[in-house]
Amino acid sequence: MKLLRLGEPGHEHPAVLHGDRVVDVSARFPDYDAAFFASGGLALLAGLGAAGFTGFPDAARGQRVGAPIARPGSVICIGMNYAAHAAESGSEPPSAPVVFMKPPNTVAGPVDCVPIPRNSQKTDWEVELGVVIGAPALYLDSAEEARGRIAGFVLANDVSEREFQLEISGGQWSKGKAAPGFTPVGPWLVTPEEFDDRSARLRSFVNGQPRQDSTTGDMIFDVGYLVWNLSQYMQLEPGDLILTGTPQGVALSGRFPYLRAGDVVELDIEGLGSQRQTFVPA
């Protein structure tokens, strides 16, 4: 299934992309939030089947596409999870997952404008595979068990301000990751049976020029391992979002200029759709 949310910020409602139809399911499901995932909402939605969706209206056309999940409790990110990106960052590949957090209020829609923070000189793009948690996960026994806690996958842009992150950080990355709109997500959440997270192609473009082009097969730590590993240190909750790292080809490499107002970033992951953001002054 492909789940999406439509409407203006703060007033999105849930829908399903079913064939050529965008079906409004808000009469049955209030939102794709923690309560939806915790209560088995995905199974109920899947149980409707093709015939069940005939009883729901089509969504109104022309609506804004929001993030496909409501504001998550946590946005948990993995740094330097592609060896080539670690190298372009001047680092050795990590021996254990590098973990940092982004505020939930950074989550935005896939085509929303992204504000460049005040005093920013080094705003950067990062195409990433996102994982949405569907059930509580703590002290899981294996990567296989961890995969059973995954509700679905999303395309995300882990926007970063590199000076804030690395030069005036005080030793942590949060300053460069926390600005409003710094986590565009969507357009859809795709459930695990319809997406192969082991070999999906990720790409990014700036003003139409190619930047990143890799596959999730180049990850150092794969999705199942990451969910298992994180569960040894924190309790993952339904609706939480994990960003699994970005491949090489970002401005931090020194090969490309950082973003300026008016720049357009486009991203896609095979099977998860595409995004397009215009960067604007804060």
Quickly list DSSP for the chain: -EEEEESSTT--EEEEEETTEEEE-TTT-S-SSHHHHHTTHHHHHHHHHHHHHTTSPBPPTTPPEE-SSPPPS-EEEEES-BHHHHHHTT-PPPSS-EEEEE-GGGEE-TTS-EEEPTT-S-EE--EEEEEEE-S-BSS-S-HHHHHTTEEEEEEEE--EEHIIIIISSTT-SGGGT-STT-EEB-S-EE-GGG--TTS-EEEEEETTEEEEEEEGGGBSS-HHHHHHHHHTTS-B-TT-EEE----S-SGGGSSSPPP-TT-EEEEEETTTEEEEEEEEE-
Question: Mind listing the pLDDT tens digit for each residue in 202-225?
Answer: 999 999 999 999 999 999 999 999
Residues 6+ apart with CB under 8 A from 145: 228
Computed over every residue of the chain, the mean pLDDT equals 96
Tokens of 68: 């496909």
Question: Mind listing the pLDDT tens digit for each residue in 44-92?
Answer: 999 987 777 888 999 999 999 999 999 999 999 999 999 877 777 777 8
Q: What is the pLDDT of residue 171?
A: 86
Question: Mind listing the pLDDT tens digit for each residue in 82-120?
Answer: 987 777 777 788 999 999 999 999 999 999 999 999 999
Q: What is the pLDDT of residue 93?
A: 85
Better pLDDT: 200 or 89:
200
CATH topology of domain 69-281: Fumarylacetoacetate hydrolase; domain 2 (3.90.850)
Residues 6+ apart with CB under 8 A from 48: none
CA distances from 67 to 93, 101, 181, 212, 268 (A): 31, 18, 11, 22, 15
Task: Give the range among 47-56, 251-260, 266-275 with minimum mean pLDDT.
Answer: 47-56
List the Cα angle 190/194/199 in 5-degree steps. 95
pLDDT surpassing 80 at residue 248: yes
Residue ranges, CATH 3.90.850.10, the chain: 69-281
Of all residues in the chain, the percent with pLDDT exceeding 70 is 100
Q: What is the pLDDT of residue 84?
A: 77
Confirm whether pTM is higher than 0.85: yes
Please report, as a single letter, which amino acid is at residue 59: A
Distance CA 8, CA 5 (A): 10
pLDDT surpassing 90 at residue 163: yes
